[in-house]
């Protein structure tokens, strides 16, 4: 499936990996993954590595890779510092439109939606339109970084992933009351989901 954001065609492969380490914190695993210019991801590249604020254990991290991601899960699972790895192959919908890694310091909220795969395109379009009035406001600083669907949509139901950047928790709280135009589209999107799970993270700056 190819998604169109204005005049740009989006067709990029991603993977999200939730990694639990053998240590009390995530540092050793992050160092091993980052070693030799992120060799553990090859031939994919790094979109972002994140540690938890809420919803993740102190010895967990989330790594999002982009490109040829088919081997990322196997590569991570064989690292000495990794006790467990759960990965999901994804495709970008209306964001991102490039493979450039995220770079803004601040809060990144990962929100998974339980959805029917037949609604993926409608959810993506509702999100795109909502963001036009959700972003660039004075009350808070927030930028949706990516909206992803599962690469394998052979089953009736599955998940989508929204990754949103905020400059801090105050902006996250203030953004719960967006402009009316955004709220209407978010409510329509909500009606197409059967549940959500979210966790808050920070980007690991190497």
pLDDT tens digits along 181-204: 999 999 999 999 999 999 999 999
Per-residue tokens: 160: 């989508």
pLDDT of residue 101 exceeding 60, the answer is: yes
Asked whether residue 160 carries a pLDDT value surpassing 50, the answer given is yes
Instruction: State the pLDDT at residue 136.
Output: 86
Q: Left if phi > 0, otherwise alpha if psi is -120 to 50, otherwise beta: which for 68?
A: beta
pLDDT of residue 60: 98
Rounded to 5 degrees, φ, ψ at 168 are 175, 180
The CATH number of domain 12-203, selected from 3.30.565.10, 3.40.80.10, 3.30.70.100, 2.40.50.70 = 3.30.70.100
Q: Is the pLDDT of residue 6 over 90?
A: no
Predicted local confidence at residue 126, as pLDDT? 98
- pLDDT category of residue 10 using cuts at 50, 70 and 90: low
| Distance separating alpha carbons of residues 41 and 128, to the nearest angstrom | 30
State the helix-helix crossing angle for 180-191 and 120-134, rounded to 10 degrees.
Answer: 160
Q: What is the pLDDT of residue 187?
A: 97
Stated pTM of the model: 0.94
pLDDT digits (tens, 9 = 90+) for 11-50: 799 999 999 999 999 999 999 999 988 999 999 999 999 9
Q: H or E segment at 112?
A: strand 107-116
Using alpha carbons only, what angle is made at residue 30 by residues 27 and 36, rounded to the nearest 5 degrees? 130
- For residues 116 and 131, give the distance between their C-alpha atoms in angstroms, rounded to a whole number: 22
* Token couple for 203: 């980007």
* Structural domain boundaries in the chain: 12-203
Taking the C-alpha atoms of residue 143 and residue 162, their distance in angstroms, rounded to an integer, is: 11
**Which residues share a beta bridge with 86?**
18
Task: Give the torsion sign (CA, 121, 4, 144, 101).
Answer: positive
- The rounded distance, in Å, linking the Cα atoms of 152 and 159 is 10
Cα–Cα distance measured from residue 62 to residue 47, given in angstroms and rounded to the nearest whole number? 11
pLDDT for 100:
97
């Amino acid at each position: 499936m190819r998604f169109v954001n204005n005049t740009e065609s989006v067709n990029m492969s991603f993977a999200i990996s939730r990694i639990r380490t053998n240590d009390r914190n995530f540092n050793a695993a992050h160092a091993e993954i980052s070693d030799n210019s992120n060799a553990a991801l090859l031939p994919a590249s790094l979109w972002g590595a994140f540690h938890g604020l809420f919803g993740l254990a102190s010895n967990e991290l989330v790594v999002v890779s982009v490109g040829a991601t088919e081997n990322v899960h196997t590569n991570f699972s064989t690292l000495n510092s990794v006790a467990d790895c759960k990965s999901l192959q994804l495709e970008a919908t209306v964001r991102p439109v490039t493979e450039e890694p995220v770079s803004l310091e601040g809060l990144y909220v990962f929100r998974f939606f339980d959805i029917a795969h037949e609604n993926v395109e409608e959810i993506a379009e509702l999100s795109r339109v909502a963001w036009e009035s959700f972003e660039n406001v004075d009350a808070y600083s927030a930028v949706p970084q990516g909206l992803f669907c599962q690469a394998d949509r052979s089953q009736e139901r599955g998940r989508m992933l929204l990754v949103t950047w905020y400059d801090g928790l105050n902006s996250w709280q203030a953004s719960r009351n967006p402009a009316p135009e955004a709220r209407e589209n978010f409510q329509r999107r909500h009606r197409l989901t059967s549940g959500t799970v979210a966790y808050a993270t920070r980007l690991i700056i190497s």
